[in-house]
Amino acid sequence: MQKALSFHHRFPALRWLIARSWIFALMQVFAWNPSVAAPVEIPSDIGIRPRMNRIQFPDREGANRLNERLRRVRSLGLRIVHLGDSHVQFGSYTEGLRDRLQHTYGNAGFGLVFPYSAARTYTPAGYSTEHEGEWECAKSRRVPPQLPLGVVGMTCRTTDPAASFTIQMKRAPKADSRRLRIFCARNAEPMTLGIEADGKLIKAVIPAAAEDDPVFIEAILPRAARQLTIRPLEGLGPEAPFEIRGVSIERVGPGGVQVHTAGVGASRYWALLHMAHMEAELAALQADIVVIDFGTNDYLYYDTIEPGLEQVIRDSVAKIRAAVPQALIILTSAQDLYFKKVHVTSGRDFAALVRRIAFEEKVAFWDWFWVAGGPKSLPRWQEEGYARTDGVHLTPKGYYLKGELLAEALVVSLKWMEKHPRAKQLEILQPTQKKRPKADASKPSKASATKPRGNYQIHVVSVGESLWTISRRYNVTVEQLKQWNGLKRTTLFPGTKLKVYPSR
């Protein structure tokens, strides 16, 4: 007597289909669950401290809000803006962050790109740029900037009818990366742009200026393109320039992660206070996380933390918070540095300063200085090929690793906060260090009581200079400069002329 066949024996094809569906479902669960993401492979010889690799939260509010966002990332998406200096502009740092998060949560597009060749500077990893015609450009490294700046920190302007710029992506974009948001200025009359996407031309119109204008125009490509060329077609003139502040390449449809690269080499913290369109563009990008990643150029050259830096950082936080009140702001410390082969010792003080500001201002903090190894750790990075010989910058693989570690810190820290609902904050203490006595520039030195000798020279104060930086330049003291020029305060204004006598 034949045994009755089971359902699965009768329909083997259906059994295979059901099994495949279960496997696919499990893959989706694991793909969207950060708790099962493979840990970053950390080289053993460069001094990274994995247990310190956490985003520190002074309270639960930001972490809870972001955890809720991640639970709905497939429908709402997650948008990160990465502001910084050359470490960010190189692109590999943000690329590591982007790749890891998009692999876990989905790809919502490459994010911001810019015609860096027109600005005569290097293009971040991930794409290349070319341009035609004459362009006038400004960068946030110069304060005040020559042109109004937005999130990217650079602006290019042209009145040349032959002008254009081309973006060439190094990876083929996802099929649904068809939305362009072009951040540009408006003129009294409309302007027509030509957008050539892999050889296919479409047109987009920049409307005439009016009140409450959005800071961008939008164009939908017929298909995702690896090469984009943008040029003004109509409406360009001597009094009607084409002014570009960036292009965001985005997914059509909801969900996934965007990470916007916005770094400018040699920029300092105060650059954020001189970017006229930054608030409006952050709001337009609907940033959920803003990483503020400056500091290197604020203390590298003179190995000191200027007294005014703390207020600049606080003002920068306030400016960004006003623009995107619901965003999680993450401050960072800078890596161990060497300038002209001399160790820069202020990295530890800067890390402590930023940590204190973060907890007082109720924003998050990533202590990269200590995560990466702390004082005098950079030579180990250099020996293993993760840092350049200049003692300041990392190599592409070093920056990529840093970006992966930032992504991991974010995910692991959020999961920790979720698993510990009674924890009021997440704080990682810095390794015990001996406190060093700090020089007090306000106390007069013996040299300040002496009368000046010899012929003096005139120093004209530039934007961003302080009595401290000028004193270091001429090898004199702050108190001497104040005495020679009859100054009662340390505040300086651009254009002020100072007498500087020879140092003895």
Per-residue exposure over 313-322, b if at least 16 CB sit within 10 Å of its own CB, e if not:
beebbeebbe
Start-end of CATH 3.40.50.1110 domains in the chain: 49-108+255-435
CB neighbourhood size of 346 (10 A): 18
- For the beta carbon of residue 286, count every other beta carbon within 10 angstroms: 14
CA 401 to chain centre: 16
pLDDT at residue number 449: 41
CB atoms under 10 Å from CB of 49, counted, come to 16
pTM above threshold 0.75: yes
pLDDT of residue 502: 86
User: So what's the pLDDT on residue 50?
Assistant: 95
The pLDDT value given to residue 214: 84
Q: What is the C-alpha separation between 491 and 308, in angstroms, rounded?
A: 10
Q: Boundaries of CATH 2.60.120.260 in the chain?
A: 127-136+155-251
**Calpha distance 300→296 (Å, rounded):** 6
CA dist 342 and 320 (Å) reads: 35
Residue ranges of the chain that CATH labels 3.10.350.10:
446-500
How many beta carbons lie within 10 A of that of residue 136, not counting itself?
16
Q: Chain centroid to CA 427: how far?
A: 23
Chosen CATH of 49-108+255-435 out of 3.40.50.1110, 3.40.50.10490, 2.60.40.680, 3.40.50.150: 3.40.50.1110
Closest of 313, 361, 334, 296 to residue 62, by C-alpha: 361
- At residue 491, the pLDDT reads 65
pLDDT at 489: 65
For the chain, 504 residues long, give each residue's pLDDT as a single digit of tens. 434 444 344 445 545 444 444 444 334 333 334 434 588 999 989 999 999 999 999 999 999 999 999 999 999 999 999 999 999 999 999 999 999 999 999 999 999 999 999 999 999 999 999 999 999 999 999 999 999 999 999 999 999 999 999 999 999 999 999 999 999 999 999 999 999 999 999 999 999 998 778 899 999 999 999 999 999 999 999 999 999 999 999 999 999 999 999 999 999 999 999 999 999 999 999 999 999 999 999 999 999 999 899 999 999 999 999 999 999 999 999 999 999 999 999 999 999 999 999 999 999 999 999 999 999 999 999 999 999 999 999 999 999 999 999 999 999 999 999 999 999 999 988 775 444 344 443 443 343 345 666 788 999 888 667 777 788 788 888 778 888 988 876 667 777 889 999 876
Determine the Cα–Cα distance for residues 115 and 139; give it in Å rounded to an integer. 12
Angstrom distance (rounded) from CA 296 to CA 90: 14
User: Is 161 buried (19+), middle (13-18) or exposed (0-12) by CB count in 10 A?
Assistant: exposed
CATH topology of domain 446-500: Membrane-bound Lytic Murein Transglycosylase D; Chain A (3.10.350)
**127-136+155-251 under CATH 3.30.70.600, yes or no:** no
For residue 84, the number of C-alpha atoms closer than 13 Å in the C-beta half-sphere is 26
Please tell me whether residue 139 adopts helix, strand or coil conformation.
strand
